[in-house]
Structure 1
Amino acid sequence: MAFRGGMILVTGATGNVGRQVVAQLCAAGVPVRALARGAVDFPDGVEVVRGDLREPLDLRGVDAVFLVWPLRSGAALPGVLDAVGGRHVVFLGSGGVADLSMGRQADLVSSCPRWTMVRPSTFAVNALWWARQLRAGDEVRGAHGDLAMAMLHEADIAAVAVRSLLDGRVGETFDLTGPEALTQVEQVRIIGEVLGRPLRWVELPRARARTQLVADGLPESFVDVLLDTYAVMPRRPAVTATVEDVTGTPARPFAEWVADHAETFGRMPG
């Protein structure tokens, strides 16, 4: 059943995907209530509610929910889903919830009367981990340069979520990827091409790569998990056409994502 009006609650509204969901719903003329922890500039007309998912949700007048789980604990998720009740919930899970696996998250969400799961591949925004290195020079230093990932623009994740909400895509799970699998070496090359800089990848052994990731700003508790995951991931992941199937528009290439975030990487040092 397609969306027939009313308000959509967007949680995680200040995040990479949530911010895009808000903008795209507003562009479609849909009333939005944005759950945010701090002050953020949203499009005119967005109703902003301060707080987070550990607090009772304001669901008055809400007909559907975009639910992204930003907390490191999943203890509050069952209560949030109970509060959502029979409303359509489009759920973007997280592999960073220490006490609730992605599989368990999916089990909980699929027990709701009206649900949709959005399961993205590697977020292109993860490449911003390299921003500190690229503001300092023309090298990106890390491990597993041969590991390919189907880098996915956050705007495409949001577009699938928005179409799911507006078209009433209930009881479906969408596995999303970018349009091509790119090794980390290839990602650095593309960043360089877009920025007009002679960038290069420098392969490091694990111990030095761990030190570099911490210097890049990643939490130490996450770094070992990340490197362990990289070590066992398939070198060349499958690519899906799900973004285009759902939205009618092909997934954005990585080069477009880099152009959209060029200022974050900085200009030529010196």
Structure 2
Amino acid sequence: MLVYGSTGTQGTPVVQKLLDTGTRVRAVTRDAARAEHWKVRGAEIAVADLQHPDTLAAANKGISQVVLQLPLQYDFALHETYGRNAVDAARAAGVELTVFNTSAHVLQDTDVHAYQARQEVIDYLQSSAVPNIVLRPTFYMEILLGPWIRPGIVEHGVVAFPLPAEFPMSWVSAGEMAAYGVSALGRPELAGSTFDIGGPEALSGNDIARCFSEVLGKEVSYAAIAPDDYERALAPVFGPTVAFEVASQVRCIIERGDGTVEMTETAAQFSVSPTPLVDWIRQHSWDN
């Protein structure tokens, strides 16, 4: 089993779940030292770079199944190159199933470059000879741990995010998303399918604040950030291009009017225990 992004937020719980079930794992990383803990757990480490096909060929040798996550990348040509190289390596190795986690929304019929770039990789994978299952998550709960959000929660009791206070969104945890990926590996008959993945609850911003209030035992409120203000705040840190692209995704989601995912049929296909937000909050430290 080959897992890309093995030391990242998305890949870490995938490797963990596979090792917990006794599955042999080859963990892909660009830095062997960062994956040393997986080696201690019995995983094989493959040092490879998505920009270098020769390293991917070696990583895929003898592999039958792949879990693919790509790094967050706003150089969209590079993002597509990463995806194509990973697919080409899987095809050359005769991989029997690739589960591709797009890492974020992929909305159709938009002019948002991030969605288009992710769709390009999906199209390339689905046009290849590699059997595949595509999983498209909504917002990760782990966003709330980011340095631009967590301090506001901890220090001021405010969850600040660029969605309207009553806008519904099916937030999903990285752990739950990993569980869907691992479960998909056992469902090769679903090859050719695409699933949108959300968590068990449709949460508004005010709902999120109430969840934090319940767990932290103090009053937590929600502050909706206008997308234009969000873009202006990001620009000095990440540059104007990234700020625009990030804000464009938020604007598009808001224009759709609903960020929820109906999970009844999808949940019936996979054996995954849902993670409500209050449970996820309890799994993390919220001390200063």
Per the shorter chain, which TM-score range? 0.7 to 0.9
Q: In angstroms, what is the RMSD of aligned CA positions?
A: 2.7
Is 1:146–1:184's contact at 8 Å kept on the other side of the alignment? yes
Q: Report the equivalent of 1:145.
A: 165
Aligned to 1:148, what secondary structure does the other structure show?
coil
**Aligned pairs (5 A) from 1:1-270:** 8-38=1-31, 39-40=34-35, 41-42=37-38, 44-55=41-52, 56-57=55-56, 58-70=59-71, 72=73, 73-85=79-91, 86-87=94-95, 88-94=97-103, 98=114, 100-113=116-129, 114-129=131-146, 130-143=149-162, 144-168=164-188, 169-211=190-232, 221-222=242-243, 223-235=246-258, 237-241=260-264, 244-261=267-284, 263=285, 266-267=286-287
Aligned to 1:198, what secondary structure does the other structure show?
coil
- Which has the larger share of helix? 2
* CA drift at 1:227: 4.0
Counterpart amino acid of residue 13 in structure 1? S
* CA drift at 1:259: 1.3
TM-score (norm 2): 0.78
Q: What is the distance in 2 between the residues matched to 1:107 and 1:61?
A: 25
Relative contact order: is structure 1 or structure 2 higher (C-alpha 8 Å, sep ≥ 6)?
Answer: 1
TM-score (norm 1): 0.83
Q: What is the distance in 1 between the residues matched to 2:135 and 2:121?
A: 12
Aligned to 1:70, what secondary structure does the other structure show?
coil
CA deviations on 1:53-102 (whole Å, 9 max, x unpaired) are 11231222211111112152212322321220131111112459759533
Q: Report the equivalent of 1:4.
A: none
CA deviations on 1:133-160 (whole Å, 9 max, x unpaired) are 1232212334422221101111121111
- Which has the larger share of strand? 1
CA deviations on 1:26-49 (whole Å, 9 max, x unpaired) are 111111011113313226101112
Number of residue equivalences? 257
State, as a whole percentage, how many aligned pairs show the same letter: 24
Aligned to 1:16, what secondary structure does the other structure show?
coil
Is 1:160–1:243's contact at 8 Å kept on the other side of the alignment? no
Is there any run of 5+ residues in structure 2 with no aligned partner, and where?
Answer: 74-78, 106-112
Q: What is the distance in 2 between the residues matched to 1:214 and 1:193?
A: 34
Q: What is the distance in 2 between the residues matched to 1:26 and 1:203?
A: 40
Q: What is the distance in 2 between the residues matched to 1:139 and 1:71?
A: 26
Is 2:13–2:174's contact at 8 Å kept on the other side of the alignment? yes
Indicate the larger mover: 243-252 or 195-204. 243-252
Q: What is the distance in 1 between the residues matched to 2:224 and 2:23?
A: 47
